Structure 1
């Protein structure tokens, strides 16, 4: 019987190893296109920030192997128990109910695993929460169903604008537009600089999420939340509202374009002219409405 069982056990071990390898592959593999989802993509999206790299290292190298081993170990234990202690193999069941040593082990080992995970987790959390001295501060307001951006005057801004999703009729694939993600007015930031986001909502709870920056923070009415990122590569990076905020929740993308410092300075000059006219128009409309 033992000789007959060895091939089966060997196949089971190989299968478990294959499953474990696939789990690791799923964690390590990343999106092929920066800043947007990849059809058929596997694993976490590619990141362009230091915090994002630390987060993915924590998940891929520390957390995923641990939880994969625990899952496979428990599965193997269940299979062994079903095989070893079934009714046919043990017609007379054991009356053992407690084992002090075993109870100490299965209490102590999970505690040690959690402590091992907690140490790098707290370090990563501190890096995410503690905001360095920012070069640019942007106030992001979530509305149903679009985002508003305000650049402060003391940092060369002094203007604000709304960001709406482009309709299918307005898309220009030759210019790189992406359906359900491209917007009319992209937010622009300089590469290699600390960007602080102050996030709030005007109506219901939203969630501002840019996966490539490892940024996700709730936008809550009456509460100002803050987060930050420092993009190390230029490009256009998309995100979406991650809260179910109403009927057009699925049509509320966010887009941030990272450019060189020189191009950012040029954009500021153009944006002041472009969005100052928009703001003036809003003031006139509001004044006319108040007069009526």
Structure 2
């Protein structure tokens, strides 16, 4: 049988009787954390749920993909100084996500995509992916919705580079997905210390190739960065679709790929 699009909608008997080795499981991850004065604590969760829903709309019916429930709380200790933030330690997150993979392996799953709407999860997920490969033989891919880039001409290069938390991109996504949760009158152009670093230093950055570990208040006292004041729902819709189509392509590539060490010339 083909999987249902939601893992938790199937029965144990349906999974037992299926060739689950052909399935691709998707584990979406998010966060509950401060997003400044204008966005809710659940911004990353709303975005993750919206992206999953759009991918499901776009997926070809014969693509054997099933989505696990979104992991709402992630590793967010860079935001722990702000009220409302909930975070797992890196130890707890690592253990929990490996154990989810272990359960999938026990059900016959051999391919997994872990996709996050929160950047703070990524370092943990890289470790988890390797552990799942080494321990259980799972092909585990790690990505973020933002890694598929942005549609041409929608956001400025500066905003894509610097506005990494609560700026134009995330605010636009929220205006598209849940406008009733956006306090637009409190939005602003939240400048980032990343800009100062770029002006003063050749290599040193808060994020990028030569980055230091930062707390969100190291970038801006408000805990957010980027120009939220120019956000629009139309830009959010374009961003959501761009990432969703990229993710569909990734899933289709995974469907045809096997870990057989194919080193033949392309």
Relative to the length of structure 1, the TM-score reads 0.23
Structure showing the higher strand proportion among its residues: 1
Q: Which has the higher contact order (CA 8 A, sep 6+)?
A: 2
Rg larger in structure: 1
